[in-house]
Chain A
């Protein structure tokens, strides 16, 4: 079987560090990059006698996330202790949620959500090299500043079908969370972390294969490459007669290699039991309404609205909606460009062209920067699109105008006149150039007269060169037909 006979089945497990002021279970301030162990207290150090108390804002953020993902919000959810030993876990257990999480079900884009729950982050463990104490042994150092940071863990259903889709969906999730204002969602800084569960099955089958867990992919690119590498590894393994084993793998982005972290035989027995030091989280109508009131229009909904109400194509709608800055710019440009006499079809075409120019030509020139911070005023872009649609400039000329707008700002109409970029649509000037073009290429004329309209190419090319791209292509074609009597 070839690779295309296999269907990858991927589920994602995402940890989001919440942007609250204080930790999940104590009042220590969150920090990033501060000197080690300067934001600790008896609770987050796991000192004897200390007790956790849950952060109300973290609960609120979890509700925001749940609403944004279309989850069911549990009216009563409880914390559990997840028990295991590790130096970055001061109590010897992590306070998390187990079988009664705060959010369950839901969907974002094409991927269903299984659940989302609250928990606390572990501390930071840094390897420092040879131990001064024990000959031949290595030492690590624990910094508890990060320990206790509130996390929301989001688990998807295995609905992702490729590495590229994983990357794309994670981008949508990140943008959604960013617009919610609940996290910095920065993969490089660790406020957004993603593990992938990967399996394969014969295309068309509905039986799930054995899955492996992929960890340590700390950028979108590494995530995509890691998942790709694991899919390839599983396909090669199975095609050579082997069986996929359930294991946890570490992806090394430098070598592209996958190494097992631990096999599931050594899997932890976490001995979950309800956390007796914390009361159940009770979510009432008031809390849900408070969260709902804070929801902005989120990317998935905005994309859907652009398609439905503005008639944009699905692809164009997504590109705009998935970047808040592009969407805002687009809507400002739209607001300046109403033309009273526009019919509905024409208005829709105008919106589509505007959308394409923003996500295409403009983004190509300013990259990831916010267009509202560029020199291209939204009204100016709207005007340019208007000129283009009125055929007052050709597409080529319009691009040149945009270059000027990006560099210097200004008004498109003025730039067209200053640079002499106005389209030559009709009149004697264009007719005269067409005449010269036909005279210069008798071969093309003959083919045209014989019915081969494709031969108009070189004629149009001649005219464009002569007019510096200012001729309107449609008008050239009309003049050629007129002058040749076609």
Chain B
């Protein structure tokens, strides 16, 4: 492997240590990643925009002593980045460059992160395969004929393929966790409200959360630490009690793990199920108690989600009307301009969800659909609260299958929605959840999901870390192909 490959093999935490020690140049590291990201256009198509050179701040000495030491960060397209294209994967925002930067990105920049590029995603974060992008689909680095998962497919693929040390994504119903699982990396959805949503082009306001994609759990904790915090510009953001800690620990003694029956029975592929069962056994060996539990309303969570999220989205996407920014299709009259602009600017999945959401809110249907869905949501949250009286964390497979083929589920929206069945309940309840690589099935990654009560990120990270060390999985496809084992 080349020197550049060596550098790109470092985890973020290791790279930061070396930069801080004066042992590695932040500018040199940025160049390595920049070249890889720029070269990816014909391969995985993970990026929609790449910086064309190192940012000015990398020249400053102060950079090396900043907590994130000038490390490059790949950022999902839907985060507003001032002066840099931010289109949320949609044609309707063609050419749009925001006049401001999202708080989550700004906080990381303040901590020393530098913008490597914007990553590809399903349009307006709606999808589980990254096949709904105006920029074309993203491919899974483990098998280029397969999807990386979605909606944050670009961020996941970039980290998995070593095109970026880490990346930002967003999770509404599983859009960080599921691609993390399909790409064999770590992905975390924080407690709702822990990270500011200001500047995130909205999909579903009561569900969207920003979170990290990383190679390992330690990097996830490090990035998350600099993202959390109350923001005066986001009325739904909350102060995180205490600090995000870097995990240590060698076993799971005293940890009570619950396995929800409803999310681990039907619909899970056998290879995924086997890997899951093996890790449960491992957890017991590490000292955890593992017991079944019940989330009685979990089977209805997907239905509630596919009413609430589209309903909120139908309102959030009403601002895309050709008046103030983005695409406009000229027409004789105002109505024509609205309908032609939105018809031309939105893809099929987005139109489907806008229609579904509008219908669920419309006169005569609100009570039966949106209203009911919010009641189901209350019950789902209650189910988790009850479970957390007996258990510290719950554990499930992240996704019901490994990465499927491009084109395989595009014509069957319902089949596509079922990808989210294990991740949606946590989104509805607003609780934090992490996905870690859980070995391979047929040569493709599977993921393990842990979730806990609100603001239990430290306990989540600690347990995930122990399991990660015990599993010894090295996620990089290059390393696997070269027959490499545990990462250095």
Contacts and interface: CB of A to CB of B under 8 A. Distances in A.
- Do A and B touch (CB < 8 Å)? yes
Interface of A: 42, 45-54, 81, 83, 85, 87, 90-93, 133-134, 136-137, 142, 269, 271-273, 276-279
Given A53-B235, A87-B334, A134-B330, 15 more contacts: A45-B324, A46-B319, A48-B80, A48-B202, A48-B320, A90-B319, A90-B324, A91-B318, A137-B332, A271-B362, A273-B370, A276-B206, A277-B235, A279-B235, A279-B236
A123 B358 CA distance: 24
Is chain A's binding surface mostly helix, strand, loop or mixed?
A: loop
A92 B322 CA distance: 11
B315 A83 contact: yes
A53 B366 contact: no
Given A273-B315, A277-B205, A92 B321 contact: yes
B409 to A, nearest CB: 28
A51 B234 contact: yes
B235 A271 contact: no
Nearest to B232: A53
Contact of B318 (A51, A85, A269, A277): A85
Contacts of A52: 235
Nearest to A45: B324
B358 A48 contact: no
Contact of A85 (B234, B333, B338, B370): B338
Contact of A271 (B86, B199, B319, B366): B366
Interface centre among A48, A49, A277 (most CB of B within 10 A): A48
B321 A85 contact: yes
Nearest to B333: A137
24 contacts: A42-B99, A45-B324, A46-B324, A48-B98, A49-B86, A49-B199, A49-B202, A50-B199, A51-B198, A51-B233, A53-B234, A81-B315, A83-B314, A83-B315, A83-B318, A90-B319, A92-B318, A133-B330, A134-B330, A271-B315, A271-B363, A273-B361, A273-B366, A279-B236
Interface in B68-105: 78-80, 86, 88, 93, 96, 98-100, 102
B325 interface: yes
Contact of B100 (A42, A83, A92): A42
Is chain B's binding surface mostly helix, strand, loop or mixed?
A: loop
Nearest to B93: A48
B323 interface: yes
Given A42-B100, A48-B88, A48-B202, A83 B361 contact: yes
A91 B314 CA distance: 11
A477 to B, nearest CB: 77
Instruction: Give the interface residue-count category, chain B.
Output: 35 or more
Contacts of B320: 48
Contact of B332 (A54, A85, A134): A134
Contacts of A137: 332-333
Interface in B304-362: 311-312, 314-315, 317-321, 323-325, 330-334, 338, 358, 361-362
Contacts of B319: 46, 48, 90-92
A54 B236 CA distance: 11
A272 B333 CA distance: 27
Nearest to B325: A47
A54 B320 CA distance: 23
A46 B338 CA distance: 16
Nearest to A267: B363
Contacts of B330: 133-134
A124 to B, nearest CB: 14
A278 B200 contact: no
Interface string B191-228: 00000011111100110000000000000000000000
Contacts of A85: 318, 321, 338
A49 B124 CA distance: 11
A92 B323 CA distance: 11
Interface string B177-192: 0000000000000000
Interface in B152-170: none
Contacts of A279: 235-236
A85 B322 CA distance: 12
Contacts of B332: 134, 136-137
B232 A93 contact: no
B201 A48 contact: yes
A99 B320 CA distance: 28
Interface in B387-422: none
Contact of A93 (B315, B324, B363): B315
Contacts of A134: 330-332
Contacts of B79: 49
Contacts of B366: 271, 273
A435 B206 CA distance: 97
Contacts of A53: 232-235
A47 B311 CA distance: 19
B235 A278 contact: yes
A51 B235 contact: yes
Contacts of A87: 323, 334
A269 B362 CA distance: 7
A277 B99 CA distance: 21
Nearest to A48: B201
A128 to B, nearest CB: 14
B335 to A, nearest CB: 9
B318 A142 contact: no
A276 B233 contact: no
Pairs A-B, 9 closest by C-beta atoms: A92-B318, A271-B361, A276-B205, A276-B206, A48-B201, A49-B199, A46-B319, A49-B80, A269-B363
Contacts of B80: 47-49
B315 A92 contact: yes
Given A92-B318, A137-B333, A142-B323, A49 B201 contact: yes
A276 B370 CA distance: 13
Interface in B418-459: none
Nearest to B200: A49
Given A137-B332, A137-B333, A48 B86 contact: yes
Contacts of B314: 83
Given A48-B80, A92-B315, A137-B332, A276 B363 contact: no
A406 B202 CA distance: 66
Nearest to A137: B332
Contacts of B93: 48
